[in-house]
Structure formats: C-alpha cells, structure tokens
Structure 1
Amino acid sequence: MTQLTQGRLTPRRNGDQVGHVVAAATLLFTGGLVALNATGFAVPATKAGRNVVGVNECDVDNSKGADGDLQASLRRDCFAFDNSATSACTRLDIGAVAYVEDDSTVARTGTAIAGVVVDITDEGVWVDVGRYPITVEAA
C-alpha cells in the first residue's frame, strides 16, 4: 500500500446513477427493476433472481448481442412500483424490505430484494432501490 505524497484528482461519479453491462439476448425496459445475473451482467429482476441494483433509465435491446455488448444506465432512488396481488405490501410494511415479484411489481415476501418500502399511495408501493446494502436474517 502506498500513501499519497501529493494531492491527486480522484475520479468521481454520482452514486445514484450507475452503468452495468447487459447480458446476452436481453431486453431491458425503461422503468424496470434490474438485477445482475450470476456472471455479473444486467438482466430484468425476477422473483428467483438476485437483489436489485437499480431501475433502468431507457430501453436497452441486447436481444441479438453478446454479454457486455451494451450498457444500461440505472438509477438508484425512490420509485413507485405495482403492488403484488398475491403478497401485497401494506402500510405496516413501511420501513421493511420489499421483494421482487417481477421487473415492475414488488411483494411483501420473497427472496430477491427490491429495496425498502418508503410509502404506499395510489401510485403504488414506493421503494428505495439500490442505495444501500440490505441483508435479511432468517427468522
């Protein structure tokens, strides 16, 4: 390890906007929850997938491309998503984890974490997505 001996210009970027390379044969839609697959490429979030890393900012069509041919621009912030019909979040879940049901729907139970429930309104379940690590201990 080397300590600085003079000042330096340290690269910086906004932590609320991140880019991830997209998996082969993948189509990501604007506003969809995005996770990384087992090899680290961006894919639409699924119930059986990995935790969400952000929300896609524009359509990305890598349906004919290889892993990493395109990059998705993702935002980490608070968004409103559809509420599950089978495992609906309620106002009692505010402050608790929301789970992925699909790339536009969150649920009260599951395995892949979407984020933390901030509010529930007529617009949907407001979820703080991807801004800090979330761990859930087994009950």
Structure 2
Amino acid sequence: MTLLPPFVCLLLFPLLLSASNFDTSVEGLYVKGNKIYNKNNKEVRLRGINRSGAEYMCIQGRGIFDGPTDDESILAIKSWNVNIVRLPLNEDCWLNINGVPEEYGGEAYIKTVMEFTEQQRERKRNNNERERE
C-alpha cells in the first residue's frame, strides 16, 4: 500500500460527487497496485478538472486566480460531475519570495487559496446534506 504524497492531497481536494459503480468518498485516499482506494477500502475513480491560474497569476502580478472563483463558477464545476479538483500552486507565491508582489503573495495568497478550497468543501457538505434528506 502506497499513501499519496501530502502535496498531492493538498493540490487535489474533494468536490461534489456523482453516482457511479465506485465509492464516492474521497477521504483517506491510498494506492494499491494500479487502483486508488478510500479510507473504507473501496475503489475510487477520480474524475476531475485542473483549476489553473494560481500557479502563475501572482508571480506575474495579475492577481491570484485566472478567472472567477465565485459560487457561480463552483456550480459550473459541479455540473461537470467531477469529484476532484487539481489546484496547482506556486511556491514563490505561497512563501512570498523572489519578487512576488506583496498584495498577491504570502498571507494573501494562502488566505485566498484556503477560502476557495473551503467554498468547494462547503458546497460538498451542502450537497451531501441534501442527499441525506
């Protein structure tokens, strides 16, 4: 059994899940052979997107994300039936080093990235609660 590296878990975070023959929980992912399993030891199929922008916008002094990160954009992602989002990050922006503009680096960058991921998680929680009702 091989655990996914921490940076993969940071860059990939659960979104809203769709029904399939695979388990929908993406908590506690690990690899065994050529398959991915969750903490319930159920096989998981990842269907996702790449949400680019955070890896280059701040270093160019143009913001943090390329494109919207509001509820409407999150609902659009949900409509694509993905269960994972890859969010590439920039080390220089995270650490606010190597000439990153102050307004986009360090705390501002981290706060914005964390808020975006929390928006995604909140949508997932709300969706899961509606499914249980």
TM-score by length of 1: 0.28
Considering fraction of residues, name the structure with more strand: 1
TM-score by length of 2: 0.29
The higher-RCO structure (CA 8 Å, 6+ apart) is 2
Considering fraction of residues, name the structure with more helix: 2
